[in-house]
Amino acid sequence: MGFSKNFVWGAATSSIQIEGASREDGKGENIWDVFCREPDKIFDGQNAEIACDHYHHYREDVKMMKEMGLQAYRFSIDWSRVLPEGRGSVNEKGIQFYNNLIDALLENGIEPYVTLYHWELPYELYKCGGWMNPQIVEWFGEYAKLVAERFSDRVSHFFTLNEPQCFVGQGFVTGNHAPGVKAPLRDTFEMAHNAMKAHGRAVQMLRQYGKQPLTIGYAPTCGMFCPDTDKPEDIEAARQAMFAMREDDSNWAWNVAWWSDPVILGHYPEEGLIRYEKYLPKITDEDLKLMSEPIDVYGQNIYNGCRVRMGEDGKPKYIERYAGSPRTAAGWPVTPECLLWGPRFLYERYQKPIYITENGISCTDVISADGKVHDSNRIDFLTGYLKALKEATQTADIRGYFQWSLMDNFEWSLGYTERFGLVYVDYRTQERIWKDSAYWYRDIIQSNGDTL
């Protein structure tokens, strides 16, 4: 039992979380640039104007990736850096930055995996209605075309949307992420619908303008569900819970099926259609055809899950976590089994090769007296999760794993409080310090996971 010879070991980041240079070289504003200036939205009034200053440090960051043995690097393009108004005129300096990054990666033998949208909606498009405006399908398509034209001679792996659950759910349902709006439910379903159509349109454009055969995927997320015992009925309970809609409307976007059934199976889940009928936009066959434009791989960002058993009423029953059970610094539960059951259930339903496009943990990392960063919690976490993933490869076609994150970075509304990196960033000096986990991950990659 083990990872296949071609298994891809990587790490992931996103543009605004690391790049900085938010007003440099003609970059336009995106909704996060603007949101960070609002009072009381980001921890301690922090912002992403400098972040890890990767825009200026990308060469040394790529060198670090190479030393770590990364085979692949997943990063996102800031739409507003290449198209400052979201459409129309191209910012050549922005294109140049990504060209330089891609070239540096390739020179160092690291395969670039590009995400088109990791929540960086150009502000100019937001002003025109953003995800609410059905024209966004074409705006996003045009942006994908530009990306294909400029980068696909060297990049062959693309993901369209990162976690639509979050950019619609947290951006417009709970409102704790940019643009910080609590929109009517009706609007949020419209945005979700437009986002999935935009995904489909981007797939078409990437294929049409790609300069080589491309591998195209989608990168949603969700909490996973795991059976509390190996009994068939508990496994069935976990499977049902995994693809069910949530009880709570104020959290409706946090589910798997609404976002993946249309994209992969070509239809919305029946349960949601009935339950949310009064909030839904008009859904046509043509829309569904566009959303389900065939993709090659299915990405999933997986962080944790919860346990269930089959209840006496034939419905999944949630198992409470015990007092004092392990948690990350951010308070998220530590549940390694989610990397076994999550991919298993997802593969069973969608039958697409899977990439774990993100997985990781925030810890309260500090520089110790010896000048090093000893993050044994992260090593424990990753050991457990990767062992589970190794087991999952027995029954699911899993192509790769991207650790979140290469380095500490701007954790959205939590600012710089949460450290998710394999590499510690001292934000005062921009010094990068390898944590113990970075050395550990390098060894795991070297052994293709055999030492787990």
Which residues are tagged catalytic?
163, 358
> Percent helix, strand, coil in the chain (nearest 5)?
40, 15, 40
Residue 358 interacts with ligand BGC (CB under 6 A): yes or no: yes
Q: Does 19 bind ligand BGC (CB under 6 A)?
A: no
- Work out which of 14, 15, 22, 255 binds ligand BGC, going by CB under 6 A: 14
Q: How far is the CB of 16 from ligand BGC (least distance, A)?
A: 9
Nearer Cβ to ligand BGC (225/416): 416
Q: Which is nearer to ligand BGC, 300 or 301 (CB)?
A: 301
The correct pick among 258, 268, 420, 440 for binding ligand BGC (CB under 6 A) is: 420
Q: Could you tell me if 211 and 146 are in contact, meaning their C-beta atoms sit under 8 angstroms apart?
A: no
Of 208-247, which residues contact ligand BGC (CB under 6 A)?
A: 221
Of 221 and 260, which CB lies nearer to ligand BGC in the complex structure?
221
Check residue 160 for interaction with ligand BGC (CB under 6 A).
Answer: no
Element (H, E) at 306: strand 305-310
Round to whole Å and give the CA distance between 52 and 60. Answer: 12
d(CA 276, CA 296): 30
Q: Least CB distance from residue 171 to ligand BGC, whole Å?
A: 12
Q: Taking the complex as a whole, how short is the minimal distance between the CB of residue 13 and ligand BGC, in angstroms?
A: 8
The smaller minimum CB distance to ligand BGC, of residues 345 and 404, is found at 404
Asked if residues 165 and 229 have their Cβ atoms less than 8 Å apart, the reply is no
Separation CA 55–CA 370 (nearest Å) = 30
Neighbours of 217 (CB within 10 A): 25
- Least spacing, CB of residue 348 vs ligand BGC, in Å: 24
Cα–Cα dist 438/138, whole Å: 41
* Residue of 115, 156, 160, 162 interacting with ligand BGC (CB under 6 A): 162
Quote the least distance from Cβ 56 to ligand BGC, whole Å: 21
Contact present, 241 and 233 (Cβ < 8 Å): no
Q: Which of residues 44-103 bind ligand BGC (CB under 6 A)?
A: none
Question: What torsion, rounded to 10 degrees, do the Cα atoms 250, 254, 259, 261 define?
Answer: -100
Q: Check residue 230 and report its DSSP letter.
A: S
Contacts of 353 by beta carbon, 8 Å cutoff, 6+ apart: 296, 297, 298, 397, 398, 399
Cis peptide preceding 405, ω within 30 of 0: yes
User: Locate tokens 């990049």: which residue?
Assistant: 155
Looking at beta carbons only, is 263 or 361 nearer to ligand BGC?
Answer: 361
Is 404 a residue that touches ligand BGC (CB under 6 A)?
yes
Nearest approach, Cβ of residue 76 and ligand BGC (Å)? 9
- Nearer Cβ to ligand BGC (265/414): 414
Q: Angle, nearest 10°, between helix axes 185-209 and 136-151? A: 30
Decide: is 408 part of the binding site for ligand BGC (CB under 6 A).
Answer: no
Binding residues for ligand BGC, how many (CB under 6 A)?
A: 11
Q: Which residues of the shown chain bind ligand BGC in the complex (CB under 6 A)? A: 14, 17, 162-163, 166, 221, 301, 358, 404, 411, 420
